[in-house]
Amino acid sequence: MEGSQASNPLVAYLSITIPPLCHGTLPNKLSPYTIEKVKGIYPNLVEIEEPAREGFQLTLKLNLDQIPKNKDYVKVIEDISTIQSVILSSQLKEILWNVNSDDAAQGMYKPIKLPQKIIAIFPIRFKEKTDVIIATSFFQELVDVGNSDKWIKTPPCSWSAIPPPELRGEAFEDLSTNGGFVSFEISSRHVEGNRLDKTVWNLLNFNANVRYHVKSTKGFIHRRMRKRLENLVQL
């Protein structure tokens, strides 16, 4: 994402490009469905420039004089800042809509098209070794719980320390991880009706939720260690 100021101080331009969720399946230009979703974000304030700036998928013209002068301006700015997530959500929905089609796909979440299902694969990377240990334990528990009879209606989950066979032929940098690969098997029943939005939200936020769990676990461990240290000092 890149911003630029026009000669008119009441106009700004925002250029956006999004890495494809599926390598080789999404064109450089955004789909009509995604464009319509972007147009729905404050139509008077946000306009789509044609053609987009070179090297970007989308260029937006922001009419700054349309931003409310009252306290609502904060919400308007927050909504504009979600444009990238709106694009990602729209692209992922289009992939899942075609779960029963014959098209093949593979890519950033690494959706792999198989008959009647899509496998969404998340390469997991952390900077600290302790994070890897906590995350690995979490993934193993997630697989055990997620594949139990109680959660039979949720997408089947698996974790592997090495690239799954569906990623054979992918670029080396995409396969280089220290946290392994988490896979979810999405079938047509997981995208029916209201389930589509929930599935999209869960997939888009999976990495963020993993990192939140790791951070919370580390905080809990540190608190327990401090408590034990205080008890030892009191002895």
What is the pLDDT, as a whole number, of residue 22? 66
Last residue of a domain, one of 75, 97, 119: 97
Q: Distances in Å between the alpha carbon of 153 and those of 96, 140, 189?
A: 17, 19, 9
Last residue of a domain, one of 36, 69, 97: 97
| 111 in the same domain as 192 | yes
| 115 in the same domain as 91 | no
What is the pLDDT, as a whole number, of residue 11? 87
Kindly state the tokens that stand for 174: 């995409």
What is the pLDDT, as a whole number, of residue 99? 72
Per-residue burial over 197-228, b if 16 or more Cβ lie within 10 Å, else e, is: eebbeebeebeeebeeebeebeeeeeeeeeee
Q: Decide if 234 is inside a domain.
A: no
Last residue of a domain, one of 69, 97, 125: 97
Question: How far apart are alpha carbons 204 and 195 in whole angstroms?
Answer: 14
Burial class (CB in 10 A: 0-12, 13-18, 19+), 120: buried
Q: Decide if 11 is inside a domain.
A: yes
- What's the CATH number where 177 sits? 3.30.1460.20
| 157 in the same domain as 92 | no
Angle at 191 between CA 187 and CA 193, to 5 degrees: 145
What is the pLDDT, as a whole number, of residue 108? 46
How many CA atoms lie less than 13 Å away from 89 in the CB half-sphere?
16
How many CA atoms lie less than 13 Å away from 170 in the CB half-sphere?
22
Number of domains within the chain: 2
| 177 in the same domain as 74 | no
Question: How far apart are alpha carbons 73 and 203 in whole angstroms?
Answer: 30
Contacts of 170 (CB under 8 A, 6+ apart): 23, 106, 110, 163
Q: Decide if 25 is inside a domain.
A: yes
Q: Decide if 62 is inside a domain.
A: yes
* Residues 32 and 91: beta-carbon distance below 8 Å: no
| 76 in the same domain as 188 | no
| 187 in the same domain as 117 | yes
| 77 in the same domain as 7 | yes
What is the pLDDT, as a whole number, of residue 109? 54
| 63 in the same domain as 122 | no
Q: Decide if 49 is inside a domain.
A: yes
Eight-class DSSP state of 19 = -
Q: How many CB atoms lie within 10 A of CB 190?
A: 21
| 85 in the same domain as 110 | no
Say what the pTM is: 0.72
Q: Decide if 27 is inside a domain.
A: yes
Q: What is the dihedral of CA 52, 57, 59, 60, to 10 degrees?
A: 140
What is the pLDDT, as a whole number, of residue 214? 93
| 158 in the same domain as 57 | no
Q: Decide if 144 is inside a domain.
A: yes
Kindly state the tokens that stand for 49: 């420039």
Query: Tell me: the pLDDT tens digits for 55-102?
Result: 888 888 888 888 888 778 888 888 888 888 888 888 888 888 777 555
Which uninterrupted H or E stretch holds 26?
A: none
Task: Give residue 175's domain range.
Answer: 106-229
Per-residue pLDDT tens listing for the chain (235 residues): 555 555 677 888 888 887 767 655 545 677 888 888 888 888 888 888 888 888 888 888 888 888 888 778 888 888 888 888 888 888 888 888 777 555 444 444 555 555 578 889 999 999 999 999 999 999 999 999 888 888 888 899 999 999 998 888 888 877 889 999 999 999 888 888 888 889 999 999 999 999 999 999 998 888 888 888 777 776 5
